Amino acid sequence: MFKALKEKLFSVRQRLETTISEQPADDGVASSTQETPEPVVPQASQPQPATVTPVAHDDEGTKEKKVPGFAQKVVSLVRDREFIISEKDIEESLSDLEIGLLESDVAFSATDAILTKVREDLTGSKRKIGTSVDSVITNALSDALLSVLGEGVNILDFIASREKPVKILFTGVNGTGKTTSVAKVANYLTKNGLTVAIGAGDTFRAGAIEQIDVHGERLGLKVIQHQEGSDPSAVLFDTVQYAKAHNVDVVLGDTAGRFHNRVNLMNQLAKIRRVIQPDLIVYVDEAVAGNDAVIRAEEFAKSVGMDAVMLTKVDMDPKGGAAISIAHAVGKPLIFIGVGQGYDDIVPFEPKAIVADLLAGEA
Amino acid sequence: MLGNLGTNLKDALKKLAGKTVIDRVAVEELVKDLQRALLQADVNVKQVMQLSQTIKKRSLEEEPPKGVTAREHVLKIVYEELVHLVGGKVDVQLGRQTILMAGLQGSGKTTTTAKIARYFKKKGLRVGVICADTFRPGAYTQIKTLCDRVQVNCFGNPKETDARKIVAEGLQHLKDEVIIVDTQGRHALEDELIQEIIDLNEMTHATHRWLVLDAALGQQAREQARRFHEAVQIDGVIITKMDGTAKGGGALSAVSETGAGIVFVGAGETVEDLEWFDPDSFISRLLGMGDLKALAEKVQESIQEEDIDVNAMLSGKFTLRDMYKQLEAVNKMGPLKQVLSMLPLGGMEVPDGAIDVTSTKMERYRIIMDSMTNIEMDDPTVLNGSRVQRIAMGAGATLEEVRELIKYYKMMKRTFKNLKGGEKGMQRLMKKFGRFS
């Protein structure tokens, strides 16, 4: 995942580094050769996502974010042995980064937000000459990415912390892979020692009930189903009742795919929510989705709510920009990614690890 | 498709209005707006950059013909370049043929297969469908159910795991004129599955190989389309799920990658929701130039005997009876918004309130109108308090609902009246376009 993005980030970083490290030499005064009083690499040099950006560190004294004049640069260099990064220095690299993000399918609005953040963090920030250039940029980028990707969630801990049966509802638009994801998650949970029952809540699409039924059979799980066209709330209610009666740990509720602009269908989902009171609503979307990912995620979050996101078909589009778009739009953690057609093709998602990996050295 | 691109462009074009010399700043702004809109619509980044450069260059360098304003000149360039982006028109032949459906998982192949089967069936051809999806559980049940619904033959075997075998048997078994082979979803990085579709293509000697793409598909569309094209030479693209908010720009990259045009657009969950795609009309609509041809066709196709008099409506003679007929026709003709989008309104905005009446409300309105007398239907001005009360009683509606209906009617009437006003300028422009193209 994120491979293309990683390559892009790496090249952008390199360019940013060259533009930035050339800076003091251009000004011609007190170049870094003379003096390195501070220990080299004073701040976190390795990509530690949690660290604050350097701006926060150096905000003693004047914190002018305006375009720094030449004199100011000199003063800053001589007195503080720092130099100021101006917007101009990084503009080209940033527009490169923008294209990179867009090409990785990060939605337009999310790209905008990330760029603004990196720009804010970098421009006008003063950097002590001895500081590793790498850390300034890495921190700015990882901070920006982390702020959109949010904290991870451990599903097993979550389930352990809730009263049994823990009800998990899957929602999303058509064709993102909800039913397959339900089967995969069921398999994942079973492997981790939990008992699972599935509710065949997609009563609309022809063949959907058969599909989940076959999955249940293969995985040896109970699938509660009604006829095609019946009320999904009733199916899922029955599933919860079954789980209570049989002491099942987790209930997974499948639902029919629906578009967020269909008021009636969204109301139906709201009804399901009222009836079964899910502990966790998982919104399923696909990695190949472009800008629409943001719009629909927002709509789903608004009308039926969502607690977590699962991204499917990552094997199809390993760039993973949709993850960033959705996370940016709704600020909900990504719990799983689907990476293939088999039951085991599911990976828990850890934003910190991903971002660290994304920014670590060469691609 | 491409969503608010229209609005953005219209705004940008307004800035050029009345200018005789093309203003560099205005053009740059237009190009920027265009870029933003296209990127938001998921059109391939490289393609967007290329397109905007071309438009900018042509707008500034090409000499506008005499008598053409700057705005018309730029509009024409934008129009031509966008038509180019959307690709050529694909004619659907009605005859003996085999169609192979290809696409990613979850793009809507099976649903689309049923829709296409229905399309050919409606045109009077015998259609047979082969279900070659041996992987996804329930796939056969799905296509079989849908085929039964539209009454076409369906061949498949949920027990068989070899798609090639099923197709071979299916080809022997089905003797229909149009054979559609629904395949398993696959993506370009799965070599085995790509090999399978290559084999299926050879076995069936498919006349057409259509690639089904989700409207929400992002930048990945180009790469996927390229690999599919390499494997089986895609000759048509079908965009699905256009009823959501997705703009379908990703699928356009597939068009440029394969050189194949868009054949159909799917915009709904039922088997009727399939539209044949005409690039010219589409862009005309997008730029607010209207598409009277499509409107005429649509009107003819869906409302023959009821005959709504569009001209009378535009001239302001719009009674409740017209509205009643219109509501009846709405179901067949598609939403009013779509119908209005075919009228040459230029940059004029139709009030959202006139459009955002949901279909359930429409149904209520119809019921209420059923309780009206002929006199009331022909001359709504006679409606007074006691009449409103009687209508409400008769229709089992509240007084508020009846009043709301009357309010809605008045708004519609006003809207149609305004349409007429906006028409003239656009007509002149359209004539000009007629000359260009």
Q: Output the pTM of the full model.
A: 0.71
The lowest-confidence range among A218-227, A326-335, B280-289, B338-347 is B338-347
Contact A288 B245 (CB under 8 A): no
- B146 in A contact zone (CB under 8 Å): yes
| Tens-digit pLDDT profile for residues B176-190 | 999 999 999 888 778
The lowest-confidence range among A96-100, A244-248, B126-130, B421-425 is B421-425
Number of other residues whose CB lies within 10 A of the CB of residue A157: 9
CB B340 within 8 A of CB B352: no
d(CA A245, CA B389): 54
State the pLDDT at residue B425. 46
CA–CA min distance A251, chain B (Å): 21
Q: Mutating which of A104, A205, A316, A326 best tests the B interface, going by the most B Cβ atoms within 10 A?
A: A316
CA–CA min distance A206, chain B (Å): 4
d(CA B347, CA B193): 48
What's at B51, amino acid-wise?
A: L
Contact B243 A175 (CB under 8 A): no
| Tens-digit pLDDT profile for residues A159-208 | 999 998 999 999 999 989 999 999 999 999 999 999 999 999 999 988 89
State the pLDDT at residue A125. 64
State the pLDDT at residue B356. 52
Selecting from A175, A215, A291 the residue whose C-beta is nearest the C-beta of B42 gives A291
CA–CA min distance B246, chain A (Å): 5
**Structural tokens at position A100:** 């990179």
State the pLDDT at residue A236. 95
Q: Are strands A222-224 and A196-199 parallel, antiparallel or unpaired?
A: parallel
Cα–Cα distances (Å) from B143 to A200, B94, B110, B185, in that order, read 19, 22, 6, 14
Contact A295 B269 (CB under 8 A): no
State the pLDDT at residue B346. 47
Residues in A closer than 8 angstroms to B5, CB to CB, are: none
The lowest-confidence range among A211-220, A258-267, B418-427 is B418-427
3-state secondary structure B37-85: HHHHCCCCHHHHHHHHHHHHHHHHHCCCCCCCCHHHHHHHHHHHHHHHH
Given a cut of 50, is residue A45 above it in pLDDT? Answer: no
- B241 in A contact zone (CB under 8 Å): yes
Contact A313 B42 (CB under 8 A): no
**Rg of chain A over all Cα atoms, to the nearest angstrom:** 25
In chain B, the percentage of residues whose pLDDT exceeds 70 is 76
State the pLDDT at residue A35. 39
The torsion angles phi and psi of A311, rounded to 5 degrees, stand at -105, 125
Q: Which of residues 163-202 of B touch A (CB under 8 A)?
A: 187, 189
What number is the average pLDDT over the span B402-430? 69
Q: Which residue in chain B is spatially nearest to A175 when comparing CA positions?
A: B106
pLDDT band at residue B5 using 50, 70 and 90 as cut-offs: low
Given a cut of 90, is residue A223 above it in pLDDT? Answer: yes
The separation between CA A98 and the C-alpha centre of its own chain, rounded to angstroms, equals 17
- B143 in A contact zone (CB under 8 Å): yes
Residues in B closer than 8 angstroms to A208, CB to CB, are: 138, 142
CA–CA min distance A317, chain B (Å): 6
State the pLDDT at residue A72. 57
Contact B220 A286 (CB under 8 A): no
Contact A261 B244 (CB under 8 A): yes
What number is the average pLDDT over the span B393-416? 85
CA–CA min distance A293, chain B (Å): 7
CA–CA min distance A100, chain B (Å): 9
Residue with tokens 């469908």: B129
The lowest-confidence range among A148-157, A227-236, A295-304, B250-259 is A148-157
What number is the average pLDDT over the span A60-82? 49
**Structural tokens at position B227:** 């690999």
State the pLDDT at residue A154. 85
Polymer length in residues for chain B: 437
Given a cut of 90, is residue B407 above it in pLDDT? Answer: no
Among the listed residues B263, B271, B29, the one whose alpha carbon sits nearest the alpha carbon of residue B142: B271
| Tens-digit pLDDT profile for residues B319-329 | 888 778 777 76
Q: Mutating which of A176, A288, A302, A325 best tests the B interface, going by the most B Cβ atoms within 10 A?
A: A288
Burial of B243 (0-12, 13-18, 19+ CB in 10 A): middle
d(CA A300, CA A322): 15
pLDDT band at residue B102 using 50, 70 and 90 as cut-offs: very high
In chain A, the percentage of residues whose pLDDT exceeds 90 is 34
Which ranges of A152-262 does DSSP label H, i.e. alpha helix? 155-160, 178-191, 208-219, 232-245
Cα–Cα distances (Å) from A202 to A174, A220, A270, in that order, read 11, 20, 15
Q: DSSP class of residue B88?
A: -
The separation between CA A256 and the C-alpha centre of its own chain, rounded to angstroms, equals 24
State the pLDDT at residue B172. 92
Q: Mutating which of B32, B129, B191, B214 best tests the A interface, going by the most A Cβ atoms within 10 A?
A: B214
Mean of per-residue pLDDT scores for chain A: 77
d(CA A20, CA A123): 11
Residues in A closer than 8 angstroms to B247, CB to CB, are: 291-292
**Structural tokens at position B268:** 């709904």
**Structural tokens at position A228:** 């095609």
CA–CA min distance B40, chain A (Å): 6
State the pLDDT at residue A221. 93
Q: Mutating which of A3, A291, A311, A341 best tests the B interface, going by the most B Cβ atoms within 10 A?
A: A291
Given a cut of 70, is residue A82 above it in pLDDT? Answer: no
CB A67 within 8 A of CB A87: yes
Given a cut of 80, is residue B306 above it in pLDDT? Answer: no
CB B221 within 8 A of CB B211: no
- B37 in A contact zone (CB under 8 Å): no
User: What string of DSSP letters covers A192-210?
Assistant: TT--EEEE----SSTTHHH
pLDDT band at residue B299 using 50, 70 and 90 as cut-offs: low
d(CA A281, CA A252): 10
- B141 in A contact zone (CB under 8 Å): yes
- Indicate the Cα dihedral angle B412, B418, B420, B423, nearest 10°: -130
Give the DSSP H/E element, type plus range, for residue A153: none
State the pLDDT at residue A215. 94
Burial of B172 (0-12, 13-18, 19+ CB in 10 A): exposed
User: What string of DSSP letters covers B391-418?
Assistant: HHHHHT--HHHHHHHHHHHHHHHHHHHH
Mean of per-residue pLDDT scores for chain B: 80
Query: How big is the CA angle at B190 (ends B189 and B192), to the nearest 5 degrees?
Result: 145
